[in-house]
Amino acid sequence: MKTTEKKKEKSEREVTVKQKKKQKLYVLDTNVLMADPECLDMFENNTIIIPDMVIEELDDHKKDMGDKGYNTRQALRKFDELRHRGNLVKGVKTENGGLIRVVSDGMDTVMPEGWKDDKPDNRILRIAKYYSENSDCPVVLVSKDTNVRIKSDIVGVRAEDYKHERIDEDHLLYNGRADIQLSGKEFDKFAAGEAVDCKKAKFDKSQKDTILQENEFVCITNQVTNGTMLGKVKNGKLVKLQYDYVHPFGVNPRNAGQRFAIEALLAPASELPLVILKGSAGTAKTFLTLACGLQQCAEENIYRKITISRANVEFDKDIGALPGDEESKVGPLLRGCMDNLEFLVDAKSVKNKGGKEDDIRSKVDFLFSHGYISAEALGFLRGRSLTRQILYVDEAQNTSPSQMKGILTRVGEGTKLVISGDLNQIDNTRLDKHNNGLAYALKLMAGDPLCSVVGFTDSETTRSPLAAKVAGLI
């Protein structure tokens, strides 16, 4: 018995040693906490080291406007909660078995000559180097700053970007549409208005493993006659488009992508509360959203209004000091939407034998003054619940994942959320193709019964010949 117990104790010790060897020590840069204040819960049962300089930098940014300031305050609240659970200097246990410490070690660690001692990045790197030289477990410095990661290589410390928010390429490739084939018999049934089981769909060899998702749009080809029709997936069946012959606010769709977008945009919020439009500039994402929105707000009274918000790095700056009301402050960032509105009311007035420039401007002003349309900064959406309206977020690729989480949770009863953007046109220097809000929404919601994705192809751009030519040459 004693021999058995000793073997058991030895085995348990070996397992413990192996577990400790597998554990890592992560040193976090300030920008990680400012990007995701919940990051402290994302490192499993490993040790998280917070350099004291990080707390200093967070304190410097706690009064910042926009998403940056909000995330900073959330991170500081998180540290305050940890303080009440234990001593942060000695280390506080996390719920997943890890440890969080705030440290000021390594001040005697030698750094390259010429590096400024009082620079925050260098102080964080010094602590990372200290633990890398004095820890038994692997040490990783986590930073969203490319320069910090480069300097980390110089001092011999392993460095990584914060990966929790990064979205795999597979999620970004989903366009919400597929090309399929049906036998002549099944095609005729579909053309007659009968739903066809998705299992009847046939794909090219290159797409043989494709599985059609709920709300996915399809271009259907008759295997016998090569005739084509458009449809969508509903409850595992291929069905015809419900709004294929509707011309919202007088707009005629020019291609399959636009017909798919109108179908998604006109679907009631009770059935389809989220629409994601992605594609390059000139594919009429904003134009179609506004046309469908005006049709449902100004003409059919389905929604109370359209609330427009455009993601932009300027929203992280203090707009409170600017003159005018909120609409005046946000207005310059929504110039693209205003151009589309002017075009819509111009086309409408021409149809009605009007159309002078002054009339166009007065009609756009009428839409705002009578509450059909409002413009708001993203920061002002936080903490609100929007009911019976269309919330349109333009340039969503410039939002952060945490901003997008806030947007998705603002949708109240009877509200339809439309998100549009181009993953290849990111202006926010803190984001890239794989860690932005549009990418996050695609990963989270693509294929969900409550969401429809419409990805426009490059051939579906409606740019002028000159703009299209230049875009192709760049």
Q: What is the DSSP string of 220-247?
A: EEETTT--EEEEEEETTEEEE-TTTT--
Pairing of strands 416-421, 390-394: parallel
Q: What is the DSSP letter of 87?
A: -
Q: At what angle do helices 357-369 and 335-351 cross, to 10 degrees?
A: 120
pLDDT of residue 310: 82
pLDDT of residue 332: 62
3-state secondary structure of 187: helix
- What CATH number belongs to 167-240? 2.30.130.10
CA nearest to 453, candidates 198, 280, 217, 237: 217
What pTM, to 2 d.p., does this model score?
Answer: 0.79
pLDDT of residue 132: 95
pLDDT of residue 444: 94
Are 181 and 220 in contact by the 8 Å Cβ rule? The answer is yes
Question: Is it true that 167-240 and 257-473 share their CATH fold?
Answer: no
Q: Which two tokens stand for residue 156?
A: 């011999």
Cα end-to-end span (Å), the chain: 78
Q: Give just the sign of the alpha carbon dihedral 109, 114, 117, 119.
A: negative
- What CATH number belongs to 257-473? 3.40.50.300
The residues near 468 (Cβ < 8 Å, ≥ 6 apart) are: 282, 461
Q: Which fold has domain 21-160?
A: Rossmann fold (3.40.50)
Q: What are phi and psi of 349, to 5 degrees?
A: -70, -35
Residue 25's CB is within 10 A of a number of other CB atoms, namely 21
d(Cα 93, Cα 99) in Å, to the nearest integer? 5
In the chain, the amino acid numbered 262 is I
Q: pLDDT tens, position by position, for the chain (474 residues)?
A: 455 555 555 544 444 444 444 689 999 999 999 988 999 999 999 999 999 999 999 999 999 877 788 899 999 999 999 999 999 999 999 888 899 999 998 889 999 999 999 999 999 999 999 999 999 999 999 999 999 999 999 999 999 999 887 888 989 999 999 999 999 999 999 999 999 999 999 998 777 778 899 999 999 999 999 999 999 999 999 999 999 999 999 999 999 999 999 999 999 999 999 999 999 988 999 999 999 999 999 999 999 999 999 865 444 444 444 445 555 555 666 777 888 988 888 766 544 444 455 678 788 888 888 889 988 878 777 767 889 999 999 999 999 888 898 899 889 999 999 999 999 998 887 788 998 999 999 999 999 999 999 999 988 987 767 766 666 665
Coarse DSSP helix, strand, coil percentages of the chain, rounded to the nearest 5 percent: 45, 15, 40
Q: Would you list the domain boundaries of the chain? A: 21-160, 167-240, 257-473
Are 249 and 299 in contact by the 8 Å Cβ rule? The answer is yes
